[in-house]
């Protein structure tokens, strides 16, 4: 093994040069991405240090830095109470971190550490960023009064080193050595937020080259006397949003920073698209802004997606400016002028309305083979191509309309799927995937849906009540809390009423339990449940009578404003008149 070739330097006894080379190459061969190359690099580094120690009596100091260049604490203020000193001076191991001159006893302790593999990993090359992170953490830790740890964990000083193994190891060591709290009595809020901060990372990571650092940190956390209470809180519903924010951050961090994917929009679409977790507000905005600032240049598509999706061109005059300003500033810091997108954003509503109008015309048409070329030209046209991967258009307009309109012309569906088959060969974007799968599933439905369903001829209204109200209530809205039941019930009831008033097809997704279809068929509605392949046919009068009964139950059980009661009653009366007249 040619150690100098691996380190990419000439043979030298200058230990500071060796350390600089190792630090530089460790960025190239990251232990998580290339563990074998990194292991080879680490061995070369150790051999190079042995070579230098053998052939040079006058070694550099352990850190390869002069004392005045250290980022650590180098003095002690007489004004501070002993318990409030900077922990680099307070702790015996502080001099090791800061690069100060060692005592004979410390030299002995260093030797013991260096003979141990974990000690090697813990104390070899403490970077300036890790020192800054440790200093910031310790200063915040020693401040008087209550602390908002979730705010600290969104600061760049912490985020830059959060997932560095050495930082976790040194943090664990700090907890053991500090004199403010016994390790098992660390503040409840601190321990809980650390669990949040590292939970997703610890869940996802597999076998690592080094495991001791993070294990040491979690050993400290699990030794806390309130650990059972903390673990119980992690499962409580009111903490799930906060916990999910940390998971969202790590997911984006892993993809963008660790895997260096700055070209595709799919990770952003997954987390801030329809159905994803919003990144608006709170510390998550600060963390996302950090990722944008730290990452290399993104593709123009990523910047455009974030600007449009978060409405950044209009944000300055919005109540959300304070929340989203960090992301705005991070994108501007990349040299992207957000105001330049304003004109494009102003054209969006008109262009999207034009697209939806044409889509609805295709939906209403009785299409034949002669129309296929026209549909194909529509998808390949300049305007549709512009919005073909636009999440707002696909998720909030096209998808919602498609859910409401179950039965599509087959030729339109075939051309839609063919267009996206070609498009998805060129991009791994998630935009429009839900719509694509929905449209794909409906190919062939026009002539077959319901044909192989067993028809219910007795107790038809009871069957519809069971599946279209009880099932949809408990499955679609299974995550609803008791306090939200009124809102859920009202939403479901109004959806049915609006469906009948418009006399349109409708469907409900029961998550993993299939779909419910209410398909208009002449003067009847065919209700189908694909999980059990059963259907029941009701006249519109029977459908209306169910809704009237449920309306009376709802308004009798829950308090409702008189204005709402009157509005819904008027809707029912309009429906009744329309049905009886027809």
pLDDT at 6 over 80: yes
How is residue 251 annotated by DSSP? H
In a domain? residue 201: no
- Local confidence band at 379 (pLDDT 50, 70, 90 cut-offs): very high
Its pTM stands at 0.50
In a domain? residue 357: yes
On whether both 130 and 254 belong to a single domain, the answer is: no
On whether both 325 and 376 belong to a single domain, the answer is: no
Q: Which of 336, 359, 387 is the last residue of a domain?
A: 336
Query: Which of 144-148, 438-442, 484-488 is predicted least confidently?
Result: 484-488
The Cα–Cα gap between 390 and 381 comes to 15
On whether both 526 and 390 belong to a single domain, the answer is: no
Return the structure tokens found at 74: 């180098």
On whether both 91 and 221 belong to a single domain, the answer is: yes
* 467 C-beta neighbours (distance < 10 Å), count: 22
On whether both 353 and 366 belong to a single domain, the answer is: yes
Q: Residue 527: enclosing H or E segment and its boundaries?
A: strand 524-529
Could you give the 3-state DSSP secondary structure of residue 255?
helix
In a domain? residue 394: yes
pLDDT value at residue 373: 94
Which tens digit of pLDDT belongs to each residue from 539-573? 888 888 888 888 888 888 777 888 888 888 998 88
Identify any residues that bridge with 519 across adjacent strands, giving them in sequence order.
Answer: 526
Residue 91 CA: distances (Å) to CA of 78, 176, 552, 565: 16, 10, 72, 69
In a domain? residue 194: no
Q: Rounded to 10 degrees, what is the CA torsion of 530, 533, 538, 540?
A: 20
In a domain? residue 572: yes
Give, rounded to a whole angstrom, the gap between the first and last alpha carbons of the chain: 89
Containing structural domain, residue 147: 3-68+83-181+206-235
In a domain? residue 188: no
Return the structure tokens found at 415: 């051309």
In a domain? residue 164: yes
* 23 C-beta neighbours (distance < 10 Å), count: 14
pLDDT value at residue 60: 38
Q: Which of 307, 336, 365 is the last residue of a domain?
A: 336
How much is the average pLDDT of 256-274?
82
| 275/525: higher pLDDT | 525
Strands 534-539 and 454-456 come out as parallel
pLDDT value at residue 509: 65
On whether both 106 and 215 belong to a single domain, the answer is: yes
Query: Which of 308-317, 460-469, 512-521 is predicted least confidently?
Result: 512-521
Alpha helix (H) ranges present in 142-261?
A: 149-152, 156-159, 165-177, 188-204, 212-222, 227-234, 240-253
- Report the chain's mean pLDDT, rounded to a whole number: 76
Identify any residues that bridge with 455 across adjacent strands, giving them in sequence order.
Answer: 535
On whether both 93 and 109 belong to a single domain, the answer is: yes
Return the structure tokens found at 394: 């696909």
Which tens digit of pLDDT belongs to each residue from 188-237? 889 988 988 888 787 765 444 445 678 888 888 888 888 878 777 766 77
pLDDT value at residue 480: 52
On whether both 320 and 408 belong to a single domain, the answer is: no
In a domain? residue 457: no
Return the structure tokens found at 144: 């008087």
Which tens digit of pLDDT belongs to each residue from 96-141? 333 333 344 444 444 443 444 444 445 557 788 898 999 999 999 9
Domain count, the chain: 4
Q: Which of 294, 316, 336 is the last residue of a domain?
A: 336
pLDDT at 275 over 70: no
On whether both 219 and 324 belong to a single domain, the answer is: no
On whether both 115 and 13 belong to a single domain, the answer is: yes
Do 121 and 211 contact (CB within 8 A), yes or no?
no
Q: Residue 518: enclosing H or E segment and its boundaries?
A: strand 515-521
- Ranked by mean pLDDT, the top range of 8-17, 23-32, 185-194 is 185-194
pLDDT value at residue 96: 37
On whether both 162 and 49 belong to a single domain, the answer is: yes
Identify any residues that bridge with 516 across adjacent strands, giving them in sequence order.
Answer: 508, 529
Return the structure tokens found at 370: 């002669």
On whether both 256 and 155 belong to a single domain, the answer is: no
């Amino acid at each position: 093994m040619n150690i100098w070739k691996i380190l990419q330097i000439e043979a030298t006894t200058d230990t500071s040069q060796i350390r600089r080379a190792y630090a530089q190459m460790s960025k190239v061969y990251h232990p998580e991405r290339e563990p074998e190359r990194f292991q080879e690099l680490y061995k070369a580094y150790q051999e190079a240090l042995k070579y230098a120690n053998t052939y040079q009596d006058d070694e550099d100091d352990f850190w390869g830095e002069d004392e005045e260049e250290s980022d650590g604490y180098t003095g002690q203020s007489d004004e501070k109470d002993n318990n409030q000193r900077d922990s680099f001076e307070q702790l015996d191991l502080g001099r090791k971190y800061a690069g100060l001159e060692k005592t004979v006893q410390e030299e002995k302790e260093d030797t013991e550490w260096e003979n141990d593999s974990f000690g090697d990993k813990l104390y070899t090359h403490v970077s300036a960023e890790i020192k800054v992170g440790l200093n910031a953490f310790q200063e915040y830790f020693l401040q008087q009064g209550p602390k908002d740890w979730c705010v600290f964990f969104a600061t760049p000083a912490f985020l830059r080193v959060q997932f560095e193994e050495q930082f976790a190891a040194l943090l664990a060591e700090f907890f053991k050595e500090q004199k403010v709290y016994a390790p098992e009595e660390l503040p409840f809020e601190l321990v809980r937020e650390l669990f949040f901060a590292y939970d997703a990372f610890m869940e996802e990571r597999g076998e690592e080259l080094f495991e001791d650092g993070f294990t040491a940190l979690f050993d400290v956390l699990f030794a806390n006397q309130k650990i059972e209470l903390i673990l119980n809180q992690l499962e409580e519903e009111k903490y799930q949003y906060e916990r999910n924010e940390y998971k969202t951050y790590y997911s984006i961090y892993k993809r963008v920073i660790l895997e260096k994917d700055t070209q595709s929009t799919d990770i952003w679409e997954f987390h801030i698209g329809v159905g994803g977790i919003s990144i608006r507000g709170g510390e998550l905005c600060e963390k996302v802004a950090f990722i944008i600032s730290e990452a290399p240049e993104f593709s123009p598509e990523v910047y455009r997606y974030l600007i449009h999706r978060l409405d950044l061109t209009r944000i300055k005059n919005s109540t959300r400016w304070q929340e989203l300003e960090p992301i705005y500033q991070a994108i501007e810091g990349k040299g992207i002028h957000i105001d330049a997108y304003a004109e494009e954003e102003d054209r969006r509503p008109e262009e999207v309305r034009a697209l939806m109008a044409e889509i609805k015309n295709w939906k209403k048409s009785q299409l034949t083979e002669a129309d296929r070329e026209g549909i194909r030209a529509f998808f390949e046209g300049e305007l549709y191509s512009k919005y073909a991967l636009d999440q707002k258009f696909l998720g909030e307009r096209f998808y919602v309309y498609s859910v409401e309109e179950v039965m599509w012309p087959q030729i339109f569906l075939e051309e839609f799927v063919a267009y996206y088959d070609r498009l998805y060969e060129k991009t791994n974007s998630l935009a429009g995937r839900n719509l694509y799968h929905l449209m794909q599933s409906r190919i062939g439905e026009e002539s077959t849906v319901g044909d192989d369903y067993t028809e219910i001829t007795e107790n038809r209204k009871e069957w519809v009540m069971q599946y279209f109200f009880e099932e949809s209530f408990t499955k679609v809205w299974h995550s609803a809390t008791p306090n939200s039941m009124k809102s859920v019930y009202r939403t479901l009831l109004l959806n049915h009423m609006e469906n009948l008033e418009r006399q349109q097809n409708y469907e409900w997704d029961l998550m993993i339990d299939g779909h419910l279809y209410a398909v208009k068929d002449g003067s009847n509605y065919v209700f189908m449940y694909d999980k059990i392949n059963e259907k029941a046919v009701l006249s519109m009068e029977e459908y209306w009578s169910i809704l009237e009964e449920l309306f009376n139950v709802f308004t009798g059980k829950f308090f409702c404003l008189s204005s709402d009661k009157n509005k819904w009653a008027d809707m029912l009366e309009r429906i009744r008149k329309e049905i009886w007249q027809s």
